[in-house]
């Protein structure tokens, strides 16, 4: 018996529609791990503070947005070398209906965002007791 996946794996090279934004926006690298009772999404978002992360879930879409403030005021800074780029992080995922939206939790520590997406009880594997007659 196969278990329905909560997040469909897309084939390499598949194209999803992208949204445009004003200013510089980065796509954070993400790992998604499937566990028995949840999906765990890990996203690298250096420079983002916990108060500057917005996570929305609705209509099967999970949206992550992290705002990064510039380290220096560009108008007041005379750069000799400027390699560090500042911009917001944004990523969107299509999530199946098998996620318990009320139980989604997130934590940001050391620049890594961890989003826990618990699976609804109906899709979790369960042991069926057999009665004798």
The reported pLDDT for the residue numbered 21 is 65
- For tokens 């969107």, name the residue: 92
Strands (E), the chain: 25-26, 30-34, 38-44, 53-58, 61-66, 88-94, 105-109, 112-118
Chain centre to alpha carbon of residue 121: 22
The domains of the chain, with CATH numbers, are 25-70+85-123 (2.60.40.790)
The reported pLDDT for the residue numbered 108 is 96
Q: How far apart are the first and last CA of the chain?
A: 26
104 CB-side CA count, 13 A = 19
pLDDT profile of the chain (133 residues), mean per 10: 49 54 86 92 95 92 92 86 87 86 94 94 69 75
Between CA 124 and CA 131 the distance in angstroms is 22
The reported pLDDT for the residue numbered 3 is 43
The reported pLDDT for the residue numbered 126 is 66
The reported pLDDT for the residue numbered 58 is 86
């Amino acid at each position: 018996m196969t278990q329905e996946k909560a997040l469909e794996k897309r084939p390499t090279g598949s194209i999803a529609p992208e949204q445009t934004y004003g200013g510089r926006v980065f796509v954070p690298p993400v790992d998604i791990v499937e566990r028995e009772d949840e999906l765990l999404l890990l996203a690298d978002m250096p420079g983002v503070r916990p108060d500057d992360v917005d996570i929305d879930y609705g209509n099967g879409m999970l949206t992550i947005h992290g705002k990064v403030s510039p380290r220096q005021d560009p108008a007041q800074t005379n750069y000799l070398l400027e390699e560090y780029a500042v911009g917001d992080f944004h990523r969107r995922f299509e999530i199946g209906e098998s996620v318990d939206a009320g139980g989604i939790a997130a934590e940001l520590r050391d620049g890594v965002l961890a989003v826990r997406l618990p699976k609804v009880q109906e899709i979790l594997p369960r042991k069926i007791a057999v009665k004798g007659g």
